Amino acid sequence: MPGADRKPKTLYDKVFEDHIVNEQDDGTILIYIDRHLVHEVTSPQAFEGLTNAGRKVRRPDCTLSTVDHNIPTTSRKTFKNAETFVKETDSRLQVMTLEENVKKFGLTYFGMDDDRQGIVHIIGPEQGFTLPGTTVVCGDSHTSTHGAFGALAFGIGTSEVEHVLATQTLLTKRSKNMRIQVDGELYPGVSSKDVVLHIIGVIGTAGGTGCVIEFCGSVIRALSMEARMSICNMSIEAGARAGMVAPDEITFEYLKGRPLAPKYGSAEWKKAVNYWSGLRSDEGAKYDSEVFIDAKDIIPTVSWGTSPQDVLPITGVVPSPDDFEDEVRKLSCKRALEYMGLTSGTPLKEVPVDKVFIGSCTNARIEDLRSAAKVVEGRKVASNIKSAMIVPGSGLVKKQAEAEGLDKIFTDAGFEWREAGCSMCLGMNPDILSPRERCASTSNRNFEGRQGAHGRTHLMSPTMAAAAAIVGKLADVRDLVQPDVSSQKAAAPITIQPEIEEVDTESDLERILDIPEDNEPHANTSGTGSSAGLPKFTVLKGIAAPMDRANIDTDAIIPKQFLKTIKRTGLGSALFYEWRFNTETGAELPEFVLNKEPYRNSKILVVTGPNFGCGSSREHAPWALLDFGIKVIIAPSFADIFFNNTFKNGMLPIPITDEAALQKIAAEARAGKEVEVDLPNQVIRDAAGNELAHFEVDAFRKHCLVNGLDDIGLTLQMEDKIRSFEIKRTIDTPWLDGSGYLKRDRRGPTKVEAAPVPKTNRGDVKTEPLEW
Ligand SMILES: CC(C)[C@H](C(=O)O)[C@@H](O)C(=O)O
Ligand code: SF4
């Protein structure tokens, strides 16, 4: 528990340490996961893995699933079932596969006919599933959103999804602590989206690599929970593993009455508030890095390029490559301007827009819609706008907005009013940009091709997107309306006395006695959990392809349309699709390195720019590389989730920070020569056997690779420790058990079933049955 030793701790340290199940000498740590969100894109292969190994989901009560990425956002008035409603074959298969899996594994599921369906990162908080001090994961990079509650929340790949489903734990390492303090008072018209875009502009998309960012300062404290969520949501765009905000009265007020939060006013609520109130960094806690931002420096911000760090105040002009000193940034700017069809020196306010998208897990909550509606009210969408869409983040957000008449304001102005889903944030469903269309978007990524092949995305806040829709160009919302930021400010905090409750011995005892039945591991520990699952990796020699780019994102490694598969194999042909092929004719682009000899047979990729694999958590990126034949990636640095995902597939990512050594390796690659990677000796050699570089690798990861070990099998050998942790968790934080609307079943481990909650540990929750 926090405070056990006297060294001052950060919020992250406290939450992390409260979840340690086991720690190895090399710093590999097994942590317990309290909350697992599941969606259709990153789960099919995980469930398939469970099925093949004869494993079950260990904690269905801590798992919540929904569909969001693939589903159409058109009216559901005629909805009967996913099979008839989702027209696109691969999307339908993915949705239906999830529906089969939730039934098979007994998980709570919000389908398309349930108002509670929505984007995973919207529904977790909305339901009170996300709680302070918890560990929250999802096969999705924007899981960082949930950190707004003081949860340690981060995205994982599909192999890790499988690991969590089977063991309710995850193998990880300690992250570094970073603090971003935003002080002062925001100018009118400046929202939390502007704050986070500004921060990413300052620290860059790799600024938070390896770190958990704690956002603090007077600006953050004054923000509502929804506004805090938008900030934590985009911490992944700053390269961080997670973002966190210490919980406070604003947090507790938000949680009051949420179906899965402890019942407000109950002994359990008070016990929870007491625990949550201790979740803040201690005086004197040490951070590895600190950034101070003055609210005075933030004005409404838009992105101009193809990386979330390419941002400027709306009053600015399109930059020129000459504005950057660094060669890599110069080149990226040149390339971004070409892609975005922009000319240096053009005032941003003169850039015309074709489409407007207000939605996504960053900005599709009720406050976002309210603030956009204020701008739109009584106005009309400009005639040059081909489509302006409002896509609420969940069915409940939609309902609430309709009750407030916001839908009417939007439709009167000429906006489309849609159903909940990810929609044009990444366009896995039919909502996409056509080539060269320009979009004012409230989403979080402006990568090449993100919203549609050759589509052009400008990131901004909901009020700024609304203003762009009205003006028909990128616009400054402050020119349109008397700015009122009140919707982003938190409601007056209520005072909740964090009383110290004596342990209610009787009910706690009941819970503890419950454990042997209720928390019986649902994993198969009878031996089928083999730990020998991957081909062994020792020495690899082969052609190395050079790539001189920075921030290569996973959308570029494999675009969204290829994520609709339910298999791990066959993705090699999709690797770097938009760089490798003409997307209109399908013809190869001869200048792309992997289309040239001898690089068609590359086994190694040598990247000279930093932050390889940033962005989405899609494990399809390493799967595509592997299927193409590439097993080793050498780069100055990697994004965290991608880095983890590669190891899970028997691949080796090698960070080489010594520029001279990296250039030597790149020179061999450019010469079309073979390179040798010797993992046991941690050495990279040229074809003749001369050492080019030595590299570091975690001892545990090396052990697993060299011996071809599957870590789920290894973790299952820790059963006793996991179980002891669960017993302690039930005593310390009893409100975390039995959630997810699942009945606590006393009949034994195999009888867990999806059902309404007749008896819960939190009182009167909604008891509607699950929708299948
Ligand atoms: C599909 C999923 C893996 C992905 C993510 O991890 O972020 C998606 O949500 C995205 O925004 O690109
Ligand atoms: S970033 Fe976009 S695609 Fe990813 S979860 Fe959020 S809304 Fe969905």
Band (pLDDT 50/70/90 cuts) for residue 208 is very high
Rounded to the nearest angstrom, the distance between the alpha carbon of 615 and the centre of ligand 1 is: 8
Find the residues whose C-beta lies inside 6 A of ligand 2: 68-69, 119, 140, 142, 360-361, 422, 425-426, 443-444
* One domain for residues 193 and 106: no
- In CATH, what number is assigned to the domain containing residue 366? 3.30.499.10
Question: Whose atoms come closest to the Cα of 236: which ligand?
Answer: 1
* CA 461 – CA 368 distance, rounded (Å): 8
- Counting ligand 2 atoms within 8 A of each CB, the residue from 65, 425, 563 with the most, and so the one to mutate, is 425
d(CA 170, CA 137): 9
Question: What is the best residue among 122, 140, 362, 566 to mutate for testing ligand 1's pocket, by most ligand atoms within 8 Å of CB?
Answer: 140
- 6 Cβ neighbours under 8 A, 6+ residues apart: none
Question: Does the ipTM exceed 0.95?
Answer: yes
Give the β-pairing of 176-183 and 289-294: parallel
Residue 326: band (very low, low, confident or very high) from pLDDT cuts 50, 70, 90? confident
* Per-residue b or e along 631-667, where b marks 16 or more CB atoms closer than 10 Å to that residue's CB: bbbbbbbbbbbbbbbbbbbbbbbbbbeeeebbebbbe
Please tell me the distance between residue 21's alpha carbon and the centre of ligand 2 in angstroms. 31
Please work out whether the CB of residue 155 comes within 6 Å of at least one atom of ligand 1. Answer: yes
Q: From 37, 235, 617, 619, give the residue whose CB has the most ligand 1 atoms within 8 Å, as the site to mutate.
A: 617
Residue 742's pLDDT is what?
Answer: 64
Distance CA 112, CA 118 (A): 8
Question: What is the reported pLDDT for 496?
Answer: 37
Q: Answer whether 141's CB lies under 8 Å from 641's CB.
A: yes
Q: How far apart are CA 108 and CA 38, in angstroms?
A: 10
Does residue 240 contact residue 144 with C-beta atoms inside 8 Å? yes
Question: Minimal CA–CA distance to 30: which of 532, 650, 709, 722?
Answer: 722
| In 168-246, alpha helices (H) | 192-203, 218-222, 225-233
The closest residue, in CA terms, to atom 6 on ligand 2 is 361
Which of 456, 478, 457, 474 minimizes the C-alpha distance to 465? 474
Name the closest ligand to CA 118: 2
Residue 393 and residue 375 share a domain: yes
Contact 14, 279 (CB under 8 A): yes
* Residue 5, in any domain of the structure: no
For residue range 673-714, what is the model confidence (pLDDT) as tens digits? 999 999 999 999 999 999 999 999 999 999 999 999 989 999
How far apart (Å, rounded) are the C-alpha atoms in residues 351 and 343?
10
Question: Is 473 among the domain residues?
Answer: yes
Do 596 and 690 belong together in one domain? yes
Considering the domain architecture, whether residues 181 and 151 belong to the same structural domain is answered as: no
Pairing of strands 674-678, 539-547: antiparallel
Judge whether residue 475 has pLDDT over 90: yes
Return the CATH number at 651: 3.20.19.10
pLDDT number for residue 379: 98
Mean pLDDT of 375-397: 98
**347-369: average pLDDT:** 98
**Are 40 and 70 within 8 A, CB to CB?**
yes
Q: Which ligand has the minimum distance to the alpha carbon of residue 362? A: 2
Nearest alpha carbon, ligand 1 atom 4: 616
Domain membership flag for residue 653:
yes
| Residue 129 placed within a domain | yes
Q: Which strand (E) or helix (H) includes residue 607?
A: strand 604-607
Of 252, 246, 733, give the one whose Cα is nearest residue 498. Answer: 252
Q: Is 304 domain-assigned?
A: no
Phi, psi of 267 (to 5 degrees): -60, -35
Looking at residue 509, its pLDDT comes to 34
Task: Give CA torsion, residues 401, 402, 408, 413, to 10 deg.
Answer: 30
How far, in Å, is the centroid of ligand 2 from the Cα of 444?
8
Number of H helices, E strands in the chain: 25, 26
Per-residue confidence (pLDDT) for residue 284, from 0 to 100: 97
pLDDT of residue 486: 44
Q: Is residue 550 part of a domain?
A: yes
Backbone torsions φ then ψ of 137, nearest 5 degrees = -130, 165
- Reading the block at residue 564, the tokens are 């609709």
Q: Which residues of 215-229 are buried (b: 16+ CB within 10 A; e: fewer)?
A: bbbebbbbbbbbbbb
Residue range of the domain that includes 189: 175-246+281-299
DSSP string for 80-118: --HHHH--SHHHHHHHHHHHHHHHHHT-EEE-TTSTT-B
Sign of the torsion formed by the C-alpha atoms of 731, 735, 736 and 741: positive
Provide the pLDDT confidence category of residue 739 given band limits of 50, 70 and 90: low
Question: Do 227 and 135 lie in a common domain?
Answer: no
Q: Which ligand is nearest to the CA of 137?
A: 1
Residue 48 class from Cβ within 10 Å (0-12 exposed, 13-18 middle, 19+ buried)?
middle
- Of 684, 707, 706, 710, the closest CA to residue 695 belongs to 684
Write down the pLDDT at residue 488. Answer: 64
Atom 2 in ligand 2: which residue has the minimum CA distance? 425
Is residue 82 over pLDDT 60? yes
Residues 121, 189, single domain; the answer is no
Ligand 1 atom with the smallest distance to the CA of 422 is 9
Q: Provide the token pair at 92.
A: 């339908």
pLDDT score for 60 = 94
Residues 563 and 678 in one domain: yes
Is 406 a residue whose pLDDT tops 50? yes
Per-chain mean pLDDT for the chain:
90
The candidate with the shortest Cα–Cα distance to 362, out of 197, 229, 196, 555, is 229
Segment 54-69 mean pLDDT? 96
Are 105 and 57 in the same domain?
Answer: yes
> What residues contact 257, with CB distance under 8 A and at least 6 apart?
264
Beta carbon of 69 within 6 Å of any ligand 1 atom: yes
CATH number of the structural domain spanning residue 191? 3.40.1060.10
Could you read off the pLDDT of 618-665 as tens digits, one per residue?
A: 999 999 999 999 999 999 999 999 999 999 999 999 999 999 999 999
Cα 177 to Cα 208, 285, 636: the distances in Å are: 9, 10, 21
Statement to judge: residues 556 and 667 lie in one domain: yes
Using pLDDT thresholds of 50, 70 and 90, give the confidence band for residue 758: very low
In tens, the pLDDT along 557-609 reads 999 999 999 999 999 999 999 999 999 999 999 999 999 999 999 999 999 99
Whether pLDDT at 770 is above 80? no
Whether 356 and 462 map to the same domain: the answer is yes
Q: What is the pLDDT of residue 482?
A: 79
Q: Which protein residue's CA is at the shortest distance from atom 8 of ligand 2?
A: 422
pLDDT score at 752: 30
> What beta strand segments (E) does 192-336 contain?
211-216, 242-244, 289-294, 301-303, 311-313
| 241 and 356 share one domain | no
320 pLDDT more than 90: yes
For a pocket test of ligand 2, which of 39, 443, 561 has the largest count of ligand atoms closer than 8 A to its C-beta? Answer: 443
DSSP string covering 9-65, please? --HHHHHHHTTEEEE-TTS-EEEE-SEEEE-TTTSHHHHHHHHHHT---S-GGGEEE
**Residue 31 pLDDT more than 90?**
yes
Q: Which amino acid is at 110?
A: F
With a 6 Å cutoff on the Cβ, whether 426 touches ligand 1 is: yes
In a domain, 269, yes or no: yes
Q: What is the bridge-based pairing of β-strands 355-358 and 311-313?
A: unpaired
pLDDT digits (tens, 9 = 90+) for 275-284: 999 999 999 9
Nearest C-alpha neighbor of 485 from the set 458, 459, 462, 460: 462
Ligand 2, residue 425: give the atom nearest the CA: 2
- Report residue 489's pLDDT band, with 50, 70 and 90 as the boundaries: low
Share of the chain above pLDDT 70, in %: 88
Question: What is the DSSP code string of 346-402?
Answer: -BGGG-B-SEEEE-TTTS-SHHHHHHHHHHHTT----TT-SEEEE--SBHHHHHHHH
Long-range contacts of 745-749, Cβ-Cβ distance < 8 Å, separation of 24 or more: 745/517, 745/518, 746/514, 746/517, 746/518, 747/517, 748/517, 748/520, 749/517, 749/520, 749/521, 749/522
Asked whether 620 and 41 are in contact (CB, 8 A), the reply is no
Q: Are residues 131 and 257 in the same domain?
A: yes
Q: Is residue 689 part of a domain?
A: yes
Contact 634, 684 (CB under 8 A): yes
Q: What is the pLDDT of residue 328?
A: 84
Interval 160-180: pLDDT, tens: 999 999 999 999 999 999 999
Count of structural domains within the chain: 4
Residue nearest to atom 10 of ligand 1 (CA): 616
pLDDT at 495 over 60: no
Q: To test ligand 2's pocket by mutation, which of 360, 431, 432, 563 has the most ligand atoms within 8 angstroms of CB? A: 360
Ligand 2 centre distance from Cα of residue 516 (Å): 38
- Name every residue whose Cβ is closer than 8 Å to that of residue 526 and which is 6 or more positions away in sequence: none
State residue 337's pLDDT score.
Answer: 98
Ligand 1 center to residue 616 CA distance, Å? 4
